[in-house]
C-alpha cells in the first residue's frame, strides 16, 4: 500500500497550526506540520482544496524520458545575448534583429518534445565566461526558456510564442543601468537601494523607445514584477490588469531566481523552489499560469542520476503523477560510496526524511 491524497476533516481550518503536512491536489507540500496556518491556507481549507497523505490505493507512476537542452547551443545563445545587451544604450533595429534570431533558435530547440534545461551543469560551465554580471545573462536566458515552455503549455500560437520569447529575453534590460555594487550586493538592500532596483522595469522600457516592438513585449519588460495580489511594482497592478505574458514571466523569473546562487545565499533545490511557487499561487501568481508551469516542468525524468541529501546516489525509476517531487529511486551507492550489490529501491513518498539534492541529465542529441 502507498500514500494517497485525501481531504482532511472539515474543521481543520479552525486549528491554529497544521496538525499534519498539507499538500495541494498534485501532492506538492504547501505547509509543514506544526507551522501556523496562513490566511491563504485557511481559505484553501475552507474550499476543500488542501490534502493530506494517507494509506490507500497504489500510487500511479508516469515515465518521462527527457534530454537536456544542448549546451553548445545554450552557450552560443548566452554569448549572443551578452553582446546584444552590452551594445545597447538604446535598443535599436540591429539589436532587435539579433534578438529575433535568438528567439528562432530557442523555438527550434524547444519544439523537440521533453527537452529539459539542466541548470546545474550549465551554471557550472558558465562560471568560466563573462565576469561582468554573467549571472544576469544566464538568468535571462533560463527565464526565457522556461517562459516559452509555459507558453507552449498554455497553447500559445507560434506568432505569440515569438513575442513571448522576445519579451523574456529583454525583460531585465533595465538592470544594465543598476550599479553593480547594488545589483550584486551580498547583504540586505537599503530602502534607497531597493528604490533604485525597483526602477529597472521602467528603465528597460525607456531603452526600447526607439523600436517598433509590439505592446506585449513592452508590457513584459514593464510589468514582470507586478503581482497577482497587487503587491508588486512599479505600478501595483493586480489580476487581469497585468498583461498575461508578464504574468508568465513573473512565475518563471522567480523560480529561476530561487534556484540560482546569489552572493548572499545558495540556490534552492528545484523541488523546493517549485513548492514555493505553487504555495504563492493565487497570491503572487495567476493560478492558471502556475498550473501550466508545473505541468511541463520535469524535475526528475526516468533514468536521471540523482544524489540524495544523505549522500546516496541512484537513478530515477518512476515518478508519481500526484507528487512528482517524490520519485521512486533505485539506489546504486550508499552514503559511504559503497555499491549496492542487490537491487535496492527507495520510495521517497514513503520516506519524507530523504530528498533529492542534485540531478544529472543526458545531453540532447
Same domain, 207 and 102: yes
Same domain, 41 and 91: no
Task: Single out the residue in 241, 269, 296 at which a domain terminates.
Answer: 296
Is residue 353 a part of any domain in this protein? yes
What pLDDT was estimated at residue 57?
Answer: 47
What pLDDT was estimated at residue 26?
Answer: 54
Same domain, 231 and 154: yes
d(CA 334, CA 347): 15
**Rama region for 337: left / alpha / beta (φ>0; ψ in -120 to 50; rest):** left
110-147 as b/e: b if 16+ CB within 10 A: beeeebbbbbebbbeebeeebeebbbbbbbbbbbbbbb
Is residue 49 a part of any domain in this protein? yes
Same domain, 23 and 167: no
Same domain, 291 and 312: no
Digit-coded pLDDT (tens) for 179-203: 888 887 888 889 999 999 999 999 9
Q: With a cut of 80, say whether residue 20 has pLDDT above it.
A: no
Question: What does each C-alpha distance from 324 to 106, 216, 269, 271 come to in angstroms?
Answer: 26, 33, 14, 9
Same domain, 355 and 317: yes
Contact assessment for residue 114 and residue 298, using Cβ atoms and an 8 Å cutoff: yes
Answer with the residue of higher pLDDT: 129 or 103: 103
- How many domains are there within the chain? 3
Residue-number span of the structural domain to which 52 is assigned: 2-58
Same domain, 242 and 280: yes
Same domain, 205 and 321: no
Same domain, 289 and 141: yes
DSSP string, 113-181: TTEE--HHHHHHHHTTS--TTHHHHHHHHHHHHHHHHHHHHTT--HHHHHHHHHHHHHTTGGGGGS-HH
Same domain, 76 and 166: yes
Q: What is the pTM of this model?
A: 0.69
As a whole number, the mean pLDDT across the chain is 79
Same domain, 212 and 103: yes
Digit-coded pLDDT (tens) for 206-238: 988 878 888 999 999 999 999 999 999 999 999
Task: Single out the residue in 279, 296, 313 at which a domain terminates.
Answer: 296
d(CA 201, CA 233): 9
Digit-coded pLDDT (tens) for 57-108: 445 545 555 566 777 788 788 777 777 776 655 456 666 777 878 888 888 8
Report, as an integer, the average pLDDT of 327-333. Answer: 90
**CATH number (domain holding residue 206):** 1.10.3210.10
Amino acid at each position: 500500500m502507498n500514500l494517497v491524497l485525501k481531504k482532511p476533516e472539515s474543521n481543520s481550518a479552525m486549528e491554529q497550526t497544521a496538525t499534519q503536512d498539507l499538500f495541494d491536489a498534485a501532492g506538492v507540500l504547501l505547509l509543514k506540520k506544526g507551522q501556523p496556518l496562513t490566511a491563504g491556507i485557511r481559505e484553501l481549507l475552507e474550499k476543500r482544496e488542501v490534502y493530506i497523505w494517507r494509506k490507500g490505493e497504489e500510487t500511479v507512476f508516469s515515465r518521462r524520458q527527457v534530454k537536456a537542452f544542448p549546451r553548445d547551443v545554450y552557450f552560443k545563445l548566452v554569448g549572443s545575448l551578452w553582446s546584444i545587451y552590452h551594445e545597447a544604450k538604446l535598443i535599436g533595429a540591429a539589436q532587435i534583429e539579433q534578438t529575433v534570431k535568438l528567439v528562432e533558435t530557442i523555438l527550434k530547440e524547444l519544439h523537440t518534445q521533453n527537452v529539459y534545461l539542466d541548470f546545474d551543469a550549465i551554471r557550472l560551465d558558465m562560471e568560466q565566461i563573462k565576469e561582468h554580471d554573467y549571472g544576469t545573462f544566464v538568468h535571462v536566458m533560463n527565464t526565457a526558456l522556461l517562459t516559452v515552455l509555459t507558453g507552449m503549455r498554455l497553447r500559445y500560437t507560434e506568432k505569440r510564442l515569438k513575442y513571448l520569447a522576445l519579451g523574456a529575453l529583454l525583460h531585465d534590460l533595465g538592470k544594465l543601468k543598476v550599479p553593480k555594487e547594488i545589483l550584486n550586493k551580498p547583504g540586505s538592500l537599503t530602502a534607497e537601494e531597493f528604490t533604485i532596483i525597483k526602477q529597472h522595469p521602467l528603465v528597460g522600457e525607456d531603452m526600447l523607445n526607439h523600436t517598433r516592438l509590439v505592446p506585449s513585449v513592452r508590457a513584459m519588460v514593464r510589468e514582470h514584477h507586478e503581482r497577482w495580489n497587487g503587491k508588486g511594482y512599479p505600478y501595483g497592478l493586480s489580476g487581469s490588469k497585468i498583461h498575461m505574458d508578464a504574468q508568465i514571466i513573473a512565475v518563471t523569473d522567480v523560480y529561476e531566481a530561487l534556484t540560482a546562487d546569489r552572493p548572499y545565499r545558495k540556490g534552492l533545490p528545484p523541488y523546493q523552489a517549485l513548492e514555493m511557487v505553487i504555495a504563492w499561487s493565487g497570491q503572487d501568481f495567476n493560478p492558471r499560469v502556475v498550473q501550466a508551469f508545473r505541468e511541463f516542468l520535469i524535475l526528475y525524468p526516468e533514468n536521471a542520476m540523482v544524489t540524495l541529501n544523505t549522500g546516496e546516489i541512484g537513478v530515477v525509476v518512476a515518478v508519481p503523477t500526484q507528487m512528482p517531487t517524490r520519485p521512486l529511486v533505485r539506489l546504486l551507492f550508499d552514503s559511504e560510496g559503497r555499491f549496492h550489490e542487490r537491487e535496492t529501491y527507495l520510495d521517497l513518498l514513503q520516506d519524507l526524511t530523504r530528498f533529492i539534492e542534485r540531478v544529472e541529465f543526458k545531453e540532447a542529441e
